[in-house]
Amino acid sequence: MSMVQDTPLVLGGHEFTSRFILGSGKYSLDLVKAAVENAGAQIVTLALRRANAQSANVLDHLPEGVTVLPNTSGAHTAEQAVQIARLAREMGLGDLVKIEVITDNRHLLPDNHETLKAVEALAALDFVPLPYMYPDVVVARQMAEAGAAAIMPLGSPIGSNRGLVTREFVELIIDAVDLPVIVDAGLGRPSEAALAMELGCAAVMANTAIATAGDVPAMARAFGQAIEAGRLAHLAGLGRVVTDHAVASSPLTGFLDDDPDRKEA
């Protein structure tokens, strides 16, 4: 019996066996614990610009083996994003950085132009840039050429739990760039995380859907299992889709009339 074998998630030379990433929107030690213990999270993002005593406490209590991914949330320009990334590296948080540049305070949509500039600048400084972006296939290619280690298109607006409303554009990016594509923001259900993985995404980032659930540990577990199931389905190869007619799963003729041993009652 054949069973597909997965490979690690590789981000700029860093390898991870988990494909679930915990976002930084609603921090608590209980949330981090639930994501690590129940969803197998190995990456937890940290928005340095909004860091406070609580998030510092999270840093002090992260389980061994968990990688902190600094996030430039709060930056309105590429220059500010670069400053935050450099501060993170000086704090000992390494070279991985999630680039988030937002100038739209109402909808919190990423500014792709400024984000691209930040990718170019940080790649030149030997960072491993992971840009959060509005799903535009042309800009995704430009970010890849500029030195991005992954592309992180939004599924829907941050914190909305509206799901993978950008599905078709995410699929275009998956086909267009030879980099891991990580859906970031907006997923509200485990089934949506599974769908993203079935499409060929390399990982999923979530926060609000888990943080606002009735049972946080159970929802973390549900997301973790959904991501694994979606990844396995993608590797296995999804079955064919027939749209113009039905296809019987077993023969409709020949199993009675053609039986020479059948006798009339």
CATH number, position 198: 3.20.20.70
Q: Pick from 149, 241, 126: which is nearest to 203 by CA? A: 149
36 is a domain residue: yes
pLDDT mean across residues, the chain: 86
How much is the pLDDT for 53?
A: 45
List the structure tokens of 150: 């992954």
User: In angstroms, rounded to a whole number, what is the distance separating the alpha carbons of residues 42 and 40?
Assistant: 6
What share of the chain in percent tops pLDDT 90? 56
List the structure tokens of 84: 């935050």
33 carries an active-site annotation:
no
Alpha-carbon distance values, 224 to 42, 49, 50, 203, 205 (Å): 12, 28, 27, 11, 11
pLDDT digits (tens, 9 = 90+) for 149-182: 999 999 998 888 898 999 999 999 999 999 999 9
* Partner residues linked to 132 by β-bridges: 152
93 is a domain residue: yes
Is residue 81 helix, strand or coil? helix
194 is a domain residue: yes
Residue 261, pLDDT > 80, answer no
257 is a domain residue: no
Alpha-carbon distance values, 173 to 12, 89, 143, 184 (Å): 19, 29, 11, 14
The domain in which residue 57 lies consists of 9-236
128 is a domain residue: yes
262 is a domain residue: no
pLDDT digits (tens, 9 = 90+) for 41-94: 999 888 876 554 444 456 666 777 888 899 998 899 999 999 999 999 998 888
CB 143 within 8 A of CB 100: no
List the structure tokens of 58: 């999270």
User: In angstroms, rounded to a whole number, what is the distance separating the alpha carbons of residues 84 and 75?
Assistant: 8
Confidence tier at 30 by pLDDT (50, 70, 90): confident
207 is a domain residue: yes
How many separate domains does the chain show? 1
1 is a domain residue: no
Parallel, antiparallel or unpaired: strands 182-184 and 203-206: parallel
Q: DSSP string of 209-220?
A: HHHTSSSHHHHH
pLDDT digits (tens, 9 = 90+) for 178-211: 999 999 988 999 999 999 999 999 999 999 999 8
Q: Pick from 129, 133, 45, 116: which is nearest to 77 by CA? A: 116
Q: What is the pTM of this model?
A: 0.85
CB 101 within 8 A of CB 77: yes
Q: Pick from 234, 229, 153: which is nearest to 191 by CA? A: 229
Given 33, 98, 117, 263, the catalytic residue: 98
**Buried (b) or exposed (e) across 182-200, using 16+ Cβ within 10 A?**
bbbbbbbbbebbbbbbbbb
pLDDT digits (tens, 9 = 90+) for 218-236: 999 999 999 999 999 999 9
List the structure tokens of 82: 């670069």
Is residue 138 helix, strand or coil? helix
